[in-house]
Amino acid sequence: MATKSSGKMKKPKTNIKSRDTVTSKEIAARIKKSAEAMVKEIKAHKDPSFTTQQRGKSNVVWDEKKGYLGLGDKRITRNFLNVAHARKFMQTSLIMAKTQDYLLHNKTASIREIYYELKHTIEGTKENTFEGQDESDPTIVDLEHSVNTIREKLNLHANPKGTLYGNITLKDKMHNNDKFNASKLGRGGWSIMSRIEPEEIEIIESDAEYLLVVETEAMFERLIEEGFPKANKCLLIGVGGQAARGARRLIHRVHTELELPTYVFTDGDPYGWYIYSVIKQGSMALAAHSEFMSIPKAQYIGMTLDDVKTYKLENVTEQMKDGDIKRAKEMMAYPWFQNKAWQAQLQKALKEKIRIEQQALANRRLDFVATHYLPEKIRNKDFLP
Amino acid sequence: MATKSSGKMKKPKTNIKSRDTVTSKEIAARIKKSAEAMVKEIKAHKDPSFTTQQRGKSNVVWDEKKGYLGLGDKRITRNFLNVAHARKFMQTSLIMAKTQDYLLHNKTASIREIYYELKHTIEGTKENTFEGQDESDPTIVDLEHSVNTIREKLNLHANPKGTLYGNITLKDKMHNNDKFNASKLGRGGWSIMSRIEPEEIEIIESDAEYLLVVETEAMFERLIEEGFPKANKCLLIGVGGQAARGARRLIHRVHTELELPTYVFTDGDPYGWYIYSVIKQGSMALAAHSEFMSIPKAQYIGMTLDDVKTYKLENVTEQMKDGDIKRAKEMMAYPWFQNKAWQAQLQKALKEKIRIEQQALANRRLDFVATHYLPEKIRNKDFLP
């Protein structure tokens, strides 16, 4: 944990140069370049092609050095003059044209909206451009991987979820340059948008010493009611289950730009631990995007099954469900869980078949989590890796 | 729609006297009174009893005059010296004692926390006070109905959900008297708390001319991106599906205290229409609480199945699922859907078996909903009752 003189406002690091600081103009240029290559092929009477990264488990690599999941080098190419590819090729071209249009006109859209916006019957045929969102979504993923970015930088997004609270000032450059402090919005906190890109949302400053990511919105509210963030100089982000992309981007940016230690607090069960691992090391489905979203230095603060005995919670454990048991077995085999502490935790789960929720700490007293549990864990550096 | 001189700030009505303005002290006193009656019975060597309202369909009444669902007069009494009631009686006493404790000490808890806080093995037995939350939740409902209030006023709450945006200033009296304006938090908006009670959250002022409740968070974001609330002087509340209790309380209070016309905008399908009816007339499950949550004067702005033709959306309808069809049939029989417009709408749904989503308006253009659809509907008063 960083120890700083109290009250010091920290400004974000601004010298970060990475795929993250690319501008929307640059992304639009990449799409244009890819489209121009197609046009060139067509003019030369060649079969136009589109190349993207291969996804799926067979091309996911565990990058131990970087500490997150990534994609390997396998690529796939689609050709227009291939009956099996032609429809997909048409769809990719539509998505390319539309997202470039969004980028050039500062518009954003949800992945459901772009599906609806592009759906139509092709003139002179009975063929629809897209039959369902299950056709447009993979095309968007193709494009993200092809131009080496994330959908947020194509001005696309999924649904928002998650809440921010604490002494941090943000600025929304696309909305009158609103500046607001997330500790001054009552106890509700700021509703995290679906897209949190540096071109739009700027981190101004914060005096927080660490960031605490909380699985359940109810625990998030508990910690605010107890005045925990102020007393402990920390920021809270409530993710409400598996973290949405906007919340992951904000966690990533707060951790990176403000250089804040990041602790994750979930239920003590395989699902909660998996939520932690996605925040820390990324997921297989979004392996190519770990650089934008993962936090390899994140630490796990709880709940652990050892907490049950330590904090006398024997009376309030629950039985693990079949899904939890299956997940625990899968997780034991993941390379990023190959360390003594997590193997012991997973083995314990499989042996005792119990789980323990964050809110079960209320069995000691409502404020126990804020007055004892979290402060002790942080003081003793009692984390899982 | 109210027509007001532009820029005029409206202060909330404060002379509303109802069950809503009861203080936590009064509620605590009601619990005490009920407990004292039990003690008196015990001291007189009588069988102590607890009385509450009967719930469930058989005691739900459609109050046409008030325009919302209510509970009838049927009551049930539980006695301690009855083997079938004894356990439940013990649980009710525990919940009464604990919620009174919360009220007297300004603590709040989620319904999951109070379950965990009260769960223990009764000394000298192997009996647990509660085996699961499915035992404590109904006990909480018993108490709400017995002392004639809602759980929020027992300082209990479920999970938060929903977002507020627009030119309205709120004050959180339990959090440094924070004052914040929900149009100045960037495009994220304010995350609506699980409890929005007048003792804690005060509505200061607003210049809005109406409130628009939006089913999906994605449409909520779309309208903000288009600058719709500012251009049309309205407030937005995104409910994210079926509205959570906190969101319903806030909608109710904004509508009542600021006297704002309230329009509801959902997907055009039986599920969306049901969301509307719960906001307007209440639900059978919470029939006793309609006074706190319902908005009998709310109007439905869309989507309707007539919109499909009017706005040329034939290409982007979806098939209704079996669940939608079943729900539509049920809804046709509800007394509060007995009017020409809704019967026609439901019949059309059952005949054409199609549904139309809010986001399908993107098929016309992303900003169509903000530049044409909603303004036209409001200008022409093209609402369903």
pLDDT tens-digit map of A109-157:
999 999 999 999 999 999 999 999 999 999 999 999 999 999 999 999 9
The catalytically annotated residue of B102, B115, B116, B271 is: B116
Partner residue opposite A359 with nearest CB, options B113, B171, B315? B113
Q: Is residue B8 in some structural domain?
A: no
Does B149 share its domain with B170?
Answer: no
- Dig out the tokens for B262 from the structure: 């309230």
Residue A69 lies in a domain: no
Say yes or no: A142 and A118 in one domain: yes
Chain A / chain B CB contacts < 8 angstroms: 165
Among A157, A172, A194, residue at a domain's last position: A157
Query: Which residue has better confidence, A8 or B338?
Result: B338
**B318 and B367 share a domain?**
yes
Domain boundary among A107, A133, A157: A157
pLDDT at B245 over 60: yes
- Percent of chain A's residues with pLDDT above 70: 97
Whether A357 has its CB under 8 Å from any CB of chain B: the answer is yes
Asked if A201 is an interface residue toward chain B (Cβ–Cβ < 8 A), one would say yes
Q: Would you list the DSSP string of A90-147?
A: HHHHHHHHHHHHHHHTT--EEHHHHHHHH--BPTTSS-BS-SSHHHHHHHHHHHHHHT
Q: Is residue B13 part of a domain?
A: no
Residues B119 and B185 in one domain: no
A352 and chain B in contact, CB less than 8 A: no
A285-293: average pLDDT: 90
**Domain co-membership, B67 together with B144:** yes
pTM of the model: 0.92
* Tens-place pLDDT, residues A28-39: 999 999 999 999
For the question of residue A373 being annotated catalytic, the response is no
Identify whether residues B226 and B371 lie together within a single domain. yes
Backbone angles phi, psi at B190, to 5 degrees: -90, 130
pLDDT at A6 over 60: no
Looking at residue A2, what is its pLDDT? Answer: 41
Q: How many domains does the structure of chain B reveal?
A: 2
Catalytic residue among A116, A165, A276, A334: A116
Contact B358, B265 (CB under 8 A): yes
ipTM: 0.90
* Residue B180 placed within a domain: yes
Query: pLDDT tens digit string along B184-207?
Result: 999 999 999 999 999 899 999 999
Cα separation, A184 vs B136, whole angstroms: 34
Are B141 and B179 within one domain? no
Q: Quick one: pLDDT band at residue B316, thresholds 50, 70, 90?
A: very high
For the cut 90, the answer to whether the pLDDT of residue B295 exceeds it is yes
Cβ contacts of A192 on chain B, cutoff 8 Å: 188
Q: Which of B159, B161, B185 sits opposite A185 (nearest CB)?
A: B185
Helix H or strand E segment including A228: helix A228-231
B171 by Cβ neighbours in 10 Å (0-12 / 13-18 / 19+) ranks as middle
Do residues B167 and B148 share a domain?
no
Contacts of A125 (CB under 8 A, 6+ apart): none
Q: Count CB neighbours of A373 within 10 A.
A: 21
The fraction of chain B above a pLDDT of 90, given in percent, is 86
The structure tokens 């009998």 sit at B296
